[in-house]
Chain A
């Protein structure tokens, strides 16, 4: 709207406002589009803002309808949830699994991605890639029963080692698929030059190719971190208490007769900080990651 206040500005000024350089006029269509964008942002962010608002207000306020939006701020839900639950431990577990899984998956996944990107036999390569991807397409619920029984027999249910194993499997296919795409973008001439300088193929991988895909490696790592942090189903089925993660604790706030909304959303507020911070950090790569590298 401020645009209308300065209708006779010189050209140089208008360039910063309208990217194409020509000054657009406020037609009805344009005004509606502008309103639509504002509504879009509100719809996209409202649940997030609402969660924060409830987390920072007292039970009396968040159960009193829309007055909650202007209620006084309080930390009581946070102190309550820390004293009455094991939130700290669950957050620690989530952090531990996310970091270790990310490291393991990056090492194994970049090796496999590099190897596959160099495979000459298209038939073999495509079949391996297809097999790798099918592990990602298979619904976790299908593997829940065998994994549960397997881990029960190996005494790995509700252990941290067991969860890291499961999460490595859960993310590996995705990481390979993405790293494969990043390695294919490395110019072959640079790698050939390394070979001519007397490096072995594995040294070329370590000293030349890998440093060149560091941005891709970071993006893949952060996505693996977020996926592991957000994973709920395996944590629900394979943990009880010791190895429980942050998402797996959320259902415990829903009692049969009473729901601790404030505490639940206070815990959630703590729990969404890592994925939110990391996700916004790699926003350039997020789409590529979520579309398995098929959109650049």
Chain B
């Protein structure tokens, strides 16, 4: 079916209007703000143009680089663990000889559907040093209580693990869908040739699953990089700046210090990072989806 220009205009007009108003304009605006001294705490200053001053401040701010590093740490840690654990569980649920896999598939949807903020808040209680149920269990079996969220070294591990808890089901379900659509012939041939289970997994399953694995890694990377809700409610970026990733850093400068110019500059830098990474990623997803 062929559509005329007029039809395209009718069908796509509202979309283009909204995306332009809500995307193109704010993007241009964020650039413009990032070049100004724009502090909401000082409304009389008139927001003068200061050129690249905000970027200079940003790039000489060790806290920015520590936030960048923590973002990378959080993203890589969460994505890698989600994938490895997710793959193991997918292989487990793909077995034909165990019961309750259908029920399990439904049960693991719960972490995906729950409001992320509620997940974070619930875990904040569960991980509490003095009253948290996890520490109560540890104490019960005679182990030391662990300050999961109060200790800088533990806090990052904890927020990563909670993210892994929430998103592993996504990896499991996508990988399972992939496993179930694999052709049987290569496996039969391998069995005839006497391949081991591990060899089968390494040389047949993994290569055949590659497009699906790509999708999991790409989508998880983008989402982990922008994760805000759970970290915000669990630690607020603390203790100190131990879990202050880029989104939290940006939020703090913009909406706690009200330094809009500086916050906008951070946003621009983040946008550049995301664009560079996602232009590669999105095309991969797109080609995998065809």
Contact = CB atoms under 8 A, between A and B. Distances in A.
Interface of A: 17-20, 24, 30, 33-34, 36-38, 40-41, 43-45, 47-48, 50-51, 54, 62-63, 65-66, 68, 108-109, 111-112, 114-116, 118-120, 126, 128-135, 137-150, 165-166, 168-169, 172-173, 176, 181, 188, 191-192, 195, 201-202, 204-205, 226, 229-230, 232-233, 236-237, 246-247, 250-251, 253-254, 259, 261, 264-265, 268, 271-272, 275-276, 279-280, 283, 286-287, 290-296
B60 interface: no
Contacts of A195: 1
Nearest to B197: A29
Nearest to A262: B125
Interface string B132-154: 01001101100000000000000
Contact of B110 (A19, A48, A142, A191): A48
B252 to A, nearest CB: 11
A195 B250 CA distance: 53
A291 B219 contact: yes
A187 B122 CA distance: 47
Contact of B270 (A115, A132, A142): A142
28 contacts: A24-B96, A30-B95, A30-B98, A37-B92, A37-B104, A41-B104, A44-B110, A47-B119, A48-B110, A65-B136, A65-B139, A65-B140, A111-B10, A112-B12, A112-B14, A135-B19, A139-B225, A141-B226, A144-B250, A144-B267, A146-B33, A148-B254, A172-B15, A202-B11, A276-B110, A276-B113, A279-B112, A280-B109
B174 A291 contact: yes
A142 B22 contact: no
B108 A19 contact: no
Interface stretch (B76-84, B183-191, B279-287): B279-287
Nearest to B265: A145
Given A134-B278, A191-B1, A279-B112, A291 B11 contact: no
A228 to B, nearest CB: 11
The 7 tightest CB contacts between A and B, nearest first, are A115-B11, A279-B113, A139-B226, A24-B97, A169-B22, A146-B26, A146-B29
B35 interface: no
A259 B7 CA distance: 56
Given A68-B133, A172-B19, A37 B101 contact: yes
Interface in B99-143: 99-101, 103-119, 121-123, 125-126, 131, 133, 136-137, 139-140
Nearest to B95: A33
Given A137-B281, A292-B289, 14 more contacts: A33-B95, A37-B93, A44-B104, A112-B11, A118-B3, A141-B246, A192-B1, A204-B1, A259-B125, A261-B125, A275-B113, A283-B106, A294-B285, A295-B177
Contacts of B241: none
B215 A294 contact: yes
Contacts of B104: 37, 40-41, 44
Max chain B Cβ within 10 angstroms of own Cβ: one of A44, A45, A115: A44
A265 B122 CA distance: 7
Nearest to A42: B107
Contact of B118 (A19, A137, A272): A272
Q: Which of the listed residues B100, B107, B116 has the most CB atoms from chain A within 10 Å of its own CB?
A: B107
A47 B123 contact: yes
A33 B92 contact: yes
B29 A149 contact: yes
A118 B267 contact: no
Q: Which of B18, B89, B93, B281 lies at the interface centre, i.e. has the most chain A CB atoms within 10 A of its CB?
A: B18
Contact of A51 (B30, B100, B118): B118
Residue in A176, A246, A261 whose Cβ sees the most chain B Cβ within 10 Å: A261
A203 to B, nearest CB: 11
A146 B10 CA distance: 29
A141 B250 contact: yes
B228 interface: yes
A192 B250 CA distance: 52
Interface in B24-77: 25-27, 29-30, 33
A138 B114 contact: no
A292 B219 contact: yes
B206 interface: no
Nearest to A264: B121
A128 B137 CA distance: 53
A173 B165 CA distance: 27
Contact of A232 (B33, B92, B108, B116): B116
A17 B246 CA distance: 50
Given A141-B251, A169-B22, A232 B110 contact: no
B88 to A, nearest CB: 9
A195 B222 CA distance: 42
A272 B115 contact: yes
